[in-house]
Amino acid sequence: MTEQFFTGNRAAAEAARLARAQVVAAYPVTPQTSTVEYISQFVNNGEMEASIIRVESEHSALSAVVGASLVGARTFTASSSQGLQLMSEVLYFASGMRVPAVMCIANRTLSMPVNIWADHQDSMVNRDSGWIQIYAANAQEVFDNILQAYKICEDEKVLLPAMVCYDGFIVSHVAERMDVLTQEQADMFLPELNGSNRPLLDPKEPLQFGEVVYPDWYPDFEYKKHKALLESRKTMEDVAREYNELFDRPYGLVENHMVEDADIVFVGLGSLTSTTQWTVNELRENGESAGLLKIRVFRPFPDKEIIEVCRNAKVVAVIDRDIGYGTAGMLFPDVTRALYPLDERPKCLNFIVGLGGKDITPETIMKIHKIAEKALRGEEVETVNWPDARIYD
């Protein structure tokens, strides 16, 4: 283990190198770009034995990854924003082909208007594409989650692709102190990819892939994919346990902070949870009863963990750095769905903040807390709130 001062993108590149990714296909898009630039340097300096396919679009990037994966290679790609949207068709193709591909997403909003800064719109609109989605709040988490993602995806019980998402610029471009595994440590954790646990394109054993499935059988395929994603949480727990035993860094599907007796529980994902955690400490010092539930794994959705924490809260403040136009944030409906079967439910509120890279500061979280407090006192408040936008009547 060596101590380094790396950006999120550098951490992602280091993780791909240590995972011994063999085929990397990517297309430049801000703020992901430097990830693949780092990998290109590794390869051209002989520090990484991989083929880089410098494709002509993101659509082709993920397509190449699927091809490489289906002859048995370990793959890596990265994207953001418009690029991820162009890739959208291929996301379903990849999960349907059950390829264990790992992709990092430096989260950025979607045009128009043009904006290159962080929010979760890009990955959130693709949340139901059959991919595992993990959100990292800092460079260390980016690194640890990518290594773990390979092990999770390649488990024959899972065989699904995974996105490791982290906020553009805030995480992708900010250098932080972090620990990087040595190659020996990484190899100990992540063995060579075993291609024999899944069907491959091989002239010695010809099989057909990507064929039509007629209506009578289609639901069965879909159910199996859904079930594999739901049950991947078991693999995630095992992989996290092993990672912790080896490297002393614990990971759960969620991470709780001061939630035990909290009346108000903030729920969020990505780098905003760091700010929220800091603010929760402040609130606690002022005698307020607040806590934070940080979602690390968004797909499969951690229903059980959310219910466990939120059932005892009075107000659940779901912070979304994205917006489902015409309804609410995209994290909010999943949280409320998970809590709905409870006989007694906490009041659930949604807060849309930080869109297009607007800074989420402790003051933003304090504003959210004020509204949540109103609800706690029984006063009427809006369900979906935009505390950091100028509201025009």
Partner 1 sequence: MTKKTKIKDLTNEEFLHYGSLSCAGCGAILTLRHALKALGPNTIVINSTGCMAVIMQMAVPKVPHFHVLFENGPAVMSGIEQALDILGKRDGTNLLVVAGDGGTADIGMGSLSGAVERGHDFIYLCYDNESYMNTGGQRSGTTPFGAATSTTPVGSVIKGENRPMEMRKDVPEIMIAHNTPYVATASIGYPLDLIDKVKKAATVRGPSYIHVFSSCPAGWRTEPRYSVKLAKLAVQTGFVILFEYENGKRTFQHLPKKRKPVREYLELQGRFKHLLGDEEAIAKMEEFVEKRLELAQG
Of 136-144, 210-218, 245-253, 290-298: span binding partner 1 (CB under 8 A): 210-218
Comparing CB distances to partner 1, the nearer of 91 and 132 is 91
Of 47-55, 152-160, 316-324, 352-360: span binding partner 1 (CB under 8 A): 47-55
Q: Does 66 bind partner 1 (CB under 8 A)?
A: yes
Evaluate whether 265 touches 310 at the Cβ level (below 8 Å): yes
Q: Binding partner 1 by CB under 8 A: which of 7, 32, 33, 63?
A: 63
For the record, the structure tokens of 346 come out as 């906490």
In angstroms, the CA 213 to CA 216 distance is 8
Q: Does 86 bind partner 1 (CB under 8 A)?
A: no
What 3-state class would DSSP assign to 7? coil
Q: Binding partner 1 by CB under 8 A: which of 44, 57, 111, 183?
A: 57
Comparing CB distances to partner 1, the nearer of 90 and 118 is 90
Q: Considering the complex, what minimum distance in angstroms separates the CB of residue 226 from partner 1?
A: 22
Contacts of 138 (CB under 8 A, 6+ apart): 8, 166, 171, 176, 178, 271, 274
Q: Considering the complex, what minimum distance in angstroms separates the CB of residue 63 from partner 1?
A: 4
Contacts of 304 (CB under 8 A, 6+ apart): none
Q: Binding partner 1 by CB under 8 A: which of 28, 37, 72, 303?
A: 72
Q: Does 366 bind partner 1 (CB under 8 A)?
A: no
Token pair 């994290």 is found at 331
In angstroms, the CA 360 to CA 244 distance is 30
Q: Binding partner 1 by CB under 8 A: which of 29, 36, 39, 68?
A: 68
Evaluate whether 61 touches 35 at the Cβ level (below 8 Å): no
Q: Binding partner 1 by CB under 8 A: which of 46, 113, 206, 341?
A: 206
State in Å, rounded, how far the first CA of the chain is from the last one: 55
Of 58-66, 284-292, 329-337, 369-377: span binding partner 1 (CB under 8 A): 58-66
Comparing CB distances to partner 1, the nearer of 53 and 316 is 53
Token pair 């539930």 is found at 293
Evaluate whether 153 touches 162 at the Cβ level (below 8 Å): yes
Q: Does 123 bind partner 1 (CB under 8 A)?
A: no
Q: Binding partner 1 by CB under 8 A: which of 12, 70, 118, 162?
A: 70
Q: Does 93 bind partner 1 (CB under 8 A)?
A: yes
For the record, the structure tokens of 280 come out as 């929760």
Of 89-97, 230-238, 359-367, 383-391: span binding partner 1 (CB under 8 A): 89-97
Q: Does 47 bind partner 1 (CB under 8 A)?
A: no
For the record, the structure tokens of 122 come out as 């890009």
Comparing CB distances to partner 1, the nearer of 69 and 385 is 69
Comparing CB distances to partner 1, the nearer of 52 and 142 is 52
Q: Does 196 bind partner 1 (CB under 8 A)?
A: no
b/e 245-265 (16+ beta carbons within 10 angstroms → b): eebeeebbbbbbbbbeebbbb
13-32 residues in contact with partner 1 (CB under 8 A) are 22-23, 25
Evaluate whether 298 touches 133 at the Cβ level (below 8 Å): yes
Q: Does 228 bind partner 1 (CB under 8 A)?
A: no
b/e 104-129 (16+ beta carbons within 10 angstroms → b): bbbbbbbeeeebbbbbbbbbbbbbeb
The residues that touch partner 1, with contacts defined as CB under 8 A, are 22-23, 25, 49-51, 53-57, 59-61, 63-73, 75, 89-90, 93, 201-203, 205-212
